[in-house]
Structure 1
């Protein structure tokens, strides 16, 4: 009975071995690294794998055993805590921190001050306009077309449509009600004929309303007479039949 008890106590204190999934060598369990994906790898193999991926600037660093499994579509990843435990040097850990940070941020380059700074990746993806976060710059530009934006200017559009609309409202210019061609009257009556080929739209420059779309002189004259008999913004009905600009 005493011998049996001694054997049981010895079995408890005897270190257990395991077979590393990478080098296949039998090693003490104390020399193992237990990954979150439940794979057991020796510290030397884990460190060698992590260091090689750090030098290659590959992130995330995935479990090598998971990557070797053909049907594993959700491989485990090496955590930052584990990288600290396996003992990489300061230079390598600095690279690791930069790679970790890159998952949450993006490097923003300002074309005005010629400097770069890391900004929140989610905010960057959601923003339509970008602003240099440096306090002595504050340059703003469009993420899509890279055009600079001035505070107080009309709302920006990459194709200039918003700016044109703002300018037309400032000067009281009108769009053709059919094809939306911008029209500026520089004299004459308020009857306007669209200059866009094939449009043949006639409209009132005073109220902006559509009069008629036709190339027939009779139809045009009748429609003009009807419109200017009811148009409240037109003050000179005798000019209505005088031809448009």
Structure 2
């Protein structure tokens, strides 16, 4: 019985040693991993210390050493400021450090920022191109403002009219007279209608101001002081 008890005690002690050794080995193996997680470096712009997750260097494309030490949040701010300030340039992102001069290509920037930020920059570049290209036709819809090539659009002609549909907002207008599409009238009829509406509006405005027609020629005159005797522009 004594020997059996001694054997059990020995086995128990040996098991404790094995467990302790295994625990120490696991701790030693995990130590380098913990040190790697804790490693931080300072962003050159915001000066915040961040882990590697705070930086997003591109998998493809060239960037300077400055951009390797600029955190992802600050890179996004650089892109957003270009959109806000309408300083889009040629679709590249310049290094913010003046003595460097490195330019990050458009496709490379897409790997360094979020998808939303990159798409906003892409749309801003497209709007700038459409706005500045002279051989493109502007959409007449005030809520649109995009320009597009007439050659790429479906154009329908008839009775002196030429219908154009904006490929962006689907607004229909006549490119012959630069007015909203008028299916029931010719361009000349729309021009005469527009002039009539302008004259009617002018007539209302003159009445509101108290102007009266000259009894001799009909031209509008307005009394702004003095005696009751007045002359029109034609000295009537």
Regarding TM over 0.5, the answer is no
Which one has a larger percent helix, Structure 1 or Structure 2? 2
TM-score, normalised on structure 1?
0.37
Q: What TM-score comes out, normalization by structure 2 length?
A: 0.38
Which structure has greater strand proportion?
A: 1
